[in-house]
Structure 1
Amino acid sequence: MGRYSKALSSYERSLEIQKIALPPNHPDLAASYNNIGAVYYNMGEYSKALSSYERSLEIQKIALPPNHPDLAGSYNNIGLVYENIGEYSKALSSYERSLQIRKIALPPNHSDLAHSYSGIGTVYDKMGEYSKALSYYEKAQDIWKKSLPSNHPHVALVKRNIDNVKKKM
């Protein structure tokens, strides 16, 4: 926990300096809020993580084009928080928005698309909608098999998720 508090302190100091030096909707501020959100997320402080991720997204919506990949990342992070607190409909909405942006902004076999598909699959899995979960997991698997080495942890994870969801069907 000590490293998280040090990281948080450093990110917050950095943010205070940025607030003085940069315009209020500068993308670097969004990145700092995102980093702070990630620390809170890893600490399990989901309400603080959500607040930081949402602030990051607010700035990005002003500072960046509407289909910028950073927006997709923020929606994905917000989806992760909602998934972890059991608010699955909100998680799905965030993951789906992330996927929409990534489909526009990224090449069809980009690994980030697979992250979106996998996240949606996980939420459907947790909701007991196994056929939908399987479909999304398989989309993630197709991309990761093409874009990552066969021994990559994401490839193994999605295979395990597919095997587990098939057992539940």
Structure 2
Amino acid sequence: MYGNLRKIVSLNKEAFMKILLLYYSYGGNTHRAARHIQKILGCDVQEILTVTPYSGDYNSVVSQGKREVEEGYEPPVRPFDKDLDHYDTVILGTPVWWYTFAPAVKTVLNAADWNGKTVYPFATNGGWIGHTFRDMKTACAGADVKQGLNIRFDGDQMQTSIAEIDRWTAEIKEE
């Protein structure tokens, strides 16, 4: 009798636990990683888009990004199609900008209520991850922030193996 009840409770938990993959991508690397993760999990996805996209050559955007990070700037972002309040679990992706998350991600992190959510962060970078995950954990106050995944790139060539991304994603499925 109780075995069936446990099975029903387990099935109901799965039915109501919603996962959102929320990410920002400037150059496309974070987008590629996010789409791979989404394909495995079959979860909802929401891209963070700034109202005014970054423009200019790569070096100009890098300089602008550095200034924005140093100043704590939060660029306006476009409204979401998805309501964060309807999700228990958020997979949060960002490129690393000057050793932390991108300013557009900061806008979202500071505007959302993270209480009671589970957050799985991932970050893409071509150098050093810096304090990105520590900063995410601090910004997601009230959330259970899990072990992050650092996805390395050399230009547009992914250095982190697909198998490593798949292992990390499998842990999310198991929880």
TM interval, shorter chain, is: under 0.3
Query: Relative CO higher for 1 or 2, CA cutoff 8 Å, sep ≥ 6?
Result: 2
Higher strand share: 2
The TM-score with structure 2 as length reference comes to 0.24
Higher helix share: 1
The TM-score with structure 1 as length reference comes to 0.24
